[in-house]
Amino acid sequence: MMKLFLLLFAAFMAAIPLKAQENYQPTQENLQSRKEFADAKFGIFIHWGLYSMLGDGEWIMHNENINYKEYERLAGAFYPSKFNAKEWVKAIKESGAKYLCITSRHHDGFSLFKTEATTYNSVDATPFKRDILAELAQECHKQGIRLHFYYSHLDWGREDYYPVGRTGRGTGRKGVFDGKKLPAIDSAIFQTNWAYENYLKFMDTQLTELLTNYGKIGAIWFDGVWDRDHQENGLKAETWNLANQYSLIHKLQPGCLIGNNHHMDPYPGEDIQIFERDIPGQNLYGYSEQAISQILPLETCQTMNRSWGYRITDTTYKSADFLIKYLIQTSAKGANLLLNIGPRPDGTLPEEALCRLKSIGEWLKQYGETIYGTTAGIVAEQPWGVSTKKGKRNFLHIFDTEATEIFVPVKETKIYECKEYLSGSKLKFKKEKDGITILLHPSDNSIRTIEFSYK
Ligand code: H79
pLDDT at 283 over 80: yes
Q: Which atom of ligand 1 is nearest to the CA of 286?
A: 25
Average confidence (pLDDT) over 106-111: 98
Query: Which residues touch 260 (CB under 8 Å, ≥6 apart)?
Result: 221, 222, 223, 225, 242, 266, 267, 270, 274
pLDDT at 14 over 50: no
Mean predicted lDDT score pLDDT of the chain: 94
Distance 274 CA to ligand 1 centre (A): 13
> Confidence class of residue 53 from pLDDT cuts 50, 70 and 90?
very high
Q: Taking the model in full, what pTM does it have?
A: 0.95
- Bridge-based pairing of strands 415-420 and 429-432 is unpaired
Neighbours of 82 (CB within 10 A): 12
DSSP-derived 3-state class of residue 43: strand
Residues in the chain: 455
Query: Each residue of 313-341: pLDDT tens digit?
Result: 999 999 999 999 999 999 999 999 999 99
User: What is the rounded CA–CA span in Å between residue 365 and residue 77?
Assistant: 40
- Ligand 1 first shell, C-beta below 6 A: 47, 58-59, 166-167, 223, 226, 229, 261, 276, 301, 308
Distance 234 CA to ligand 1 centre (A): 16
Please tell me the residue having the least CA distance from ligand 1 atom 6.
223
What are the distances in angstroms from CA 37 to CA 85, 119, 380, 433?
23, 34, 23, 38
Q: Which atom of ligand 1 is nearest to the CA of 226?
A: 24
Q: Which atom of ligand 1 is nearest to the CA of 308?
A: 2
| Predicted pLDDT at 413 | 66
Residue to substitute in 223, 227, 277, 306 for testing ligand 1 pocket (most ligand atoms within 8 angstroms of CB): 223
Q: Which atom of ligand 1 is nearest to the CA of 285?
A: 14
Is it true that the peptide bond before 350 is cis, omega within 30 degrees of 0?
no
Query: Each residue of 231-268: pLDDT tens digit?
Result: 989 999 999 999 999 999 999 999 999 999 999 999 99
pLDDT at 372 over 50: yes
Q: Which atom of ligand 1 is nearest to the CA of 107?
A: 4
Average confidence (pLDDT) over 112-130: 98
Please tell me the residue having the least CA distance from ligand 1 atom 10.
224
pLDDT at 9 over 60: no
pLDDT at 18 over 90: no
Residue to substitute in 276, 284, 290, 339 for testing ligand 1 pocket (most ligand atoms within 8 angstroms of CB): 276
- Bridge-based pairing of strands 448-454 and 415-420 is antiparallel
| Predicted pLDDT at 338 | 98
pLDDT at 17 over 70: no
Average confidence (pLDDT) over 178-191: 88
User: What is the rounded CA–CA span in Å between residue 109 and residue 68?
Assistant: 10
What are the distances in angstroms from CA 45 to CA 22, 162, 170, 232?
29, 29, 28, 32
Distance 14 CA to ligand 1 centre (A): 21
> In this prediction, what percent of the chain has a pLDDT beyond 90?
89
pLDDT at 51 over 70: yes
Average confidence (pLDDT) over 106-132: 98
| Predicted pLDDT at 22 | 79
pLDDT at 23 over 80: yes
What are the distances in angstroms from CA 306 to CA 170, 244, 311, 340?
24, 35, 9, 10
Average confidence (pLDDT) over 30-46: 98
| Predicted pLDDT at 139 | 98
Average confidence (pLDDT) over 113-122: 98
Q: Nearest 10 degrees: CA dihedral of 176, 179, 183, 189?
A: -110
User: What is the rounded CA–CA span in Å between residue 300 and residue 279?
Assistant: 6
